[in-house]
Chain A
Amino acid sequence: MLVVNHVSKSYGKFEALKDINLEFSNGVYGLLAPNGAGKTTLIKMLTTLIFPSSGEILYNGTNITRLGEKYREQLGYLPQEFGYYKNYSPKQFLAYIGALKGMDKKVVNKKIDELLKLVALEDVATKKMKKFSGGMIQRVGIAQAMLNDPKILILDEPTAGLDPKERVRFRNLLSELARDRIVILSTHIVSDVESIANEIIMIKDKQVLYKGSIDEICKVIAGMVYETSIPYEQAAMFKKEVFSLSEKQEDGLLKIRFISKKTPEPTWTAVKPNLEDVFLYVYRDDIQESSAI
């Protein structure tokens, strides 16, 4: 079990994260927040790239900085900006990472073949990566993160550059992997975690705002989400009264999904909130916050 215990991180006078408390056991955790909220700072502390200013991170009861390379042996990490040697082929690069992870050469070679097949790169296994597309590079990144069969798999914006088909395949793969390991997925794309995460962690104002299952988190706005269709002329006025979540044209009218705390009008249809609604509501900007509802 991985435990984040009263962790704060400051850079000089700037406080990036404040008193974070989290517990991770096997399963998929979606770390959801807009860009710049502190997701990457937390991820970097979990991967020992930076150290907390105060508090501690424990893996099976021992501080991860104290565990050092023993912790890193259990870790698979895909950074937001995945770096690779352009003149290496995926096979060479994975063999290099396997060596750095201290893995046995025979085990690495077997694992490389399996992983390249899994991420559908077996046809280009020996081609230099400098000619690869963004999606192909990202798949090499995913493969390297899983190379040592890690007990803790941390992926920072892993689906960037993947096409819809690859995203679905990747999500299924993560669900399968999470049966016997901790998978932490940092993203600002709600759909990446909505279908697979056992728990969602939302960070706001440098602190953990919510941690729970999708159903639990959606309860935050239960009974406040509606849909209605209105003429376009009324749209501007209507949006001043409510917090708009999404809009689309339908039969010459504007179909709008929104949040309102007012007593519902007869034309409004109550709908079940989803994670994206919560995300938009929680991270609405200050202007919307003051004008809506």
Chain B
Amino acid sequence: MNKEKFKVDFPSDEDIARQISFIVKEGLPKQETFFKQVYTMYRQLGFQYLFPNSIEIAFISILIAIFLLITGLHVRDYFEAEPGSVYTFIFVTSPLLYLTICSLSLYHIWDNRTYELEMTCKYDFFQLTAVRMLAFSIFCFAVNTAFIIAMVNTYHHISFVKAFLISTTGLFLFSTLTLFVLMNNQAKIVKIVLLVGWTAGNFLAFIWSKNFFLLVLNNISISVYVVITASLLVLYIKHLQKMMQFRKTEGVA
């Protein structure tokens, strides 16, 4: 009997890998980059709805900026007697504005009980909070920089670069910690301790172990500050990205 031999034309391993990758790429929903998502949300919601309490935020910001300027510029005797202490002041107060406006924004959601409703919308509470926190940190970064410029013009012994890096480190250290606490569903008390405790804790540390605090802040070299600041910035953006995806799940929808 003459058996006909069938020859099956199997695809090569490379072909199989290419086809799998094509199917996965087409099948999975397209993932937008973090900044594209932020832009899309801004286009969709606009400034008015992203910051429903913008007037209060502006008012609080002005108050805090005035407080920082008055305090920073009117303790001249102390800063001149203890030249390093000005950096401590900059480090401790750097997240003050961020802390206040974030707390205000979250308080509004709690007070108005809109959390449940916002969680059932397309753009949910976590996505909104991620965009808001990004905007707040950029805004605070700008205000802090302006404050440092004012300080440098007043106290000529201050190095702008060092003050700028210390301030940015303080801001992003605090904001990364805030995001971590918010996203890990910690007890309310942990959130309150973080939000209120930062400033109080730093001031107490400054008073009780003044020399140690000054030593740490003043002896870290500029290059180390650059590395710390850059690392914190990356960590902060990664946490924001995670927050943006907090409720999303993977799969072919």
Which A residues contact B (CB, under 8 angstroms)? Answer: 47-49, 62, 65-70, 72-73, 75, 77, 79, 81-86, 88, 95-97, 99-102, 144
Q: Once bound together, how far apart are the Cα atoms of A237 and B13, in whole Å?
A: 87
6 chain-A/chain-B pairs, Cβ below 8 angstroms: A65-B249, A68-B249, A84-B112, A96-B49, A99-B49, A144-B117
Q: How far is the CA of A144 from the CA of B121 in the complex (A)?
A: 11
Residue from B49, B116, B253 within 8 A of A68 (CB atoms): B253
Q: How near does chain B come to A74, taking the closest CB pair, in angstroms?
A: 10
Query: Which of A48, A67, A68 has most chain B Cβ within 10 Å?
Result: A68
**A49/B253 in contact, CB under 8 A:** no
Q: B99-121 CB contact bits vs A (8 Å, 1 = yes)?
A: 00000000010001111111111
Closest to A95 in B: B49
- Indicate if the CB atoms of B251 and A66 lie closer than 8 Å: yes
Contacts of A88 in B (CB 8 A): 52
> Which of A62, A82, A100 touches B123 (beta carbons < 8 Å)?
A100
CB contacts (< 8 Å) of B117 on chain A: these are 77, 79, 82-83, 97, 144
For residue B156, CB closer than 8 A to chain A, the reply is no
Which of B46, B117, B249, B250 is the most central at the interface, judged by chain A CB atoms within 10 Å of its CB?
Answer: B117
* A99 pairs with B45, CB closer than 8 A: yes
Contacts of B112 in A (CB 8 A): 83-86
Q: How far is the CB of A160 from chain B (nearest CB, A)?
A: 14
Please, how many angstroms separate the alpha-carbon atoms of A200 and B10 in the complex? Answer: 57
Which residues of chain A are within 8 angstroms of B44 by Cβ–Cβ distance? 99, 102
Question: Once the chains bind, are B113 and A77 in contact (CB under 8 Å)?
Answer: no
Minimum-distance CB pairs A-B, first 6: A83-B113, A100-B121, A102-B122, A83-B114, A79-B116, A77-B120
A95 vs chain B, min Cβ distance (A): 8
Interface string of B39-72 (1 = CB under 8 A from A): 0000011100100100000000000000000000
Q: How far is the CA of A99 from the CA of B43 in the complex (A)?
A: 10
Contacts of A101 in B (CB 8 A): 121-123
Q: How far is the CB of A112 from chain B (nearest CB, A)?
A: 14
Q: Which residues of B pack against A, CB within 8 Å? A: 44-46, 49, 52, 108, 112-124, 128, 247-251, 253
Partner of A66, one of B108, B113, B122, B249: B249
CB-defined contacts of B250 to chain A, threshold 8 Å: 66
Chain B proximity of A104: nearest CB distance (Å):
9
Q: Which residue of B lies closest to A70 (CB)?
A: B253
B52: chain A residues at CB < 8 Å are 85, 88, 96
Contact of A72 with B122 at beta-carbon distance under 8 Å, contacts A66-B249, A66-B253, A99-B49 already known: yes
Question: Contact between B248 and A69 (Cβ–Cβ < 8 Å)?
Answer: yes
Residue from B114, B118, B247, B251 within 8 A of A48 (CB atoms): B247
Give the CA-CA distance A81 to B115 in the complex, in Å: 10
Complex Cα distance A99/B124, Å?
Answer: 11
**B253 and A67: CB pair below 8 A?**
yes
| Least Cβ–Cβ distance between A39 and chain B, in angstroms | 15
Please name all residues of chain B whose beta carbon is closer than 8 Å to the beta carbon of A75 when the two chains form the complex. Answer: 120
Question: Within 8 Å CB of A69, what residues of B?
Answer: 122-124, 247-248
A277 to B116, CA, bound (A): 34
Given contacts A67-B253, A99-B44, contact A49 B122 (CB under 8 A): no
Contact, CB under 8 Å: B119 / A49: yes
> Are the CB atoms of A72 and B120 closer together than 8 Å?
yes
- Cβ contact within 8 Å between A84 and B114: yes
On whether A81 and B116 interact (CB within 8 A), knowing A69-B248, A99-B46, the answer reads yes
* A102-B123 contact given A84-B112, A85-B114, CB 8 Å threshold: yes
Within 8 Å CB of B247, what residues of A?
Answer: 48, 68-69
A101 to B108, CA, bound (A): 20
Distance in Å from the Cβ of B128 to the closest Cβ of chain A?
Answer: 8
The answer to whether B121 and A97 have CB atoms under 8 Å apart is yes
- Which of B116, B121, B124: most chain A Cβ within 10 A? B121
Given contacts A69-B247, A99-B49, A99-B123, 11 further A-B contacts (CB under 8 A): A47-B120, A48-B119, A49-B120, A65-B249, A67-B253, A69-B123, A82-B113, A85-B112, A96-B49, A99-B44, A100-B128
- Please determine whether B249 and A100 come into contact, CB atoms closer than 8 angstroms: no
Chain A residues, Cβ within 8 Å of B121: 72, 97, 100-102
